[in-house]
Each structure stands twice: as C-alpha cells, then as structure tokens.
Amino acid sequence: MSSRWQPAETLKAINTFIAETSAVSAKQIYLLALARTLISDELYTETDSKLESDIAENVTLLSQLCMNLQDQGVIIQVKHPESGQVAELAGIAYSTESISYQAGVKESGRLATWPLFDGAQIRIIN
C-alpha cells in the first residue's frame, strides 16, 4: 500500500461520505419527526441531541479532511447544483432545514452557502 496521496481515491471517499451520511441523517431526522408525538419528551430530546451530535461529528470530519487537503495546496471546488457555477470551497456545514450538507463558498467576494446534495458537485484540483 502506497503512502502517497491519491486524489481520485480521496475524492471518491469524500463523495461516498457525503452521499451516505446525508442519506442516513435525512432518514433519522424524518423518523424522529414522525415519532415526535409517539415518544416521551425526554426520549425525543435525548434522541434529537444524539442526532445533532452525530451530524456535527460528520461535519467536523469532512471539514477537517478538506482543510487538511487545502493546507497541502489542493484546491477543492464545488459546483452549484442549479446554476452550474463553480467556486472554491471555504467550509462545510449541515442544514437540518434542507436536510443536506451546505458548502460555504466565496461568491462575488462574500461568503455564500450552496446546497451540497451529492459528492458529484465536488472536484479536486491537484
């Protein structure tokens, strides 16, 4: 096994991570919303807190990976899902409102967030 960084493998890992954790989180949020009236307030609050913690850990992991790559001089770009506009990644968050990851990008000199529905919107330039 080579210790050299492999852009294609890294991009595939990022894409898979986004797709899989996004799908799991969406299902958990949906199920928790359905169960809201069927479970105790205590259980709801506990489950909701755990879900928020899991999502935060996923965002931290993904953000750290991207920051580490950028620190090595790798450029990570994101493609807007509707306009097709491309911008350099500035950060990653998760929106429980849209139930998706959000890519922070610099757009016209200001920070903007774009929905990140799947990893196909990300590309790495080495």
Going from N- to C-terminal start, the domains of the chain cover 7-125
Burial of 15 (0-12, 13-18, 19+ CB in 10 A): middle
Q: How far out from the chain centre does Cα 39 lie?
A: 29
1 has pLDDT over 60: no
Radius of gyration of the chain (CA): 16
**Residues 92 and 80: beta-carbon distance below 8 Å:** no
91 has pLDDT over 80: yes
18 has pLDDT over 90: no
Place of tokens 């755990």: 50
pLDDT tens per residue, range 57-73? 998 998 888 888 888 88
pLDDT interval class at 79 (50, 70, 90): confident
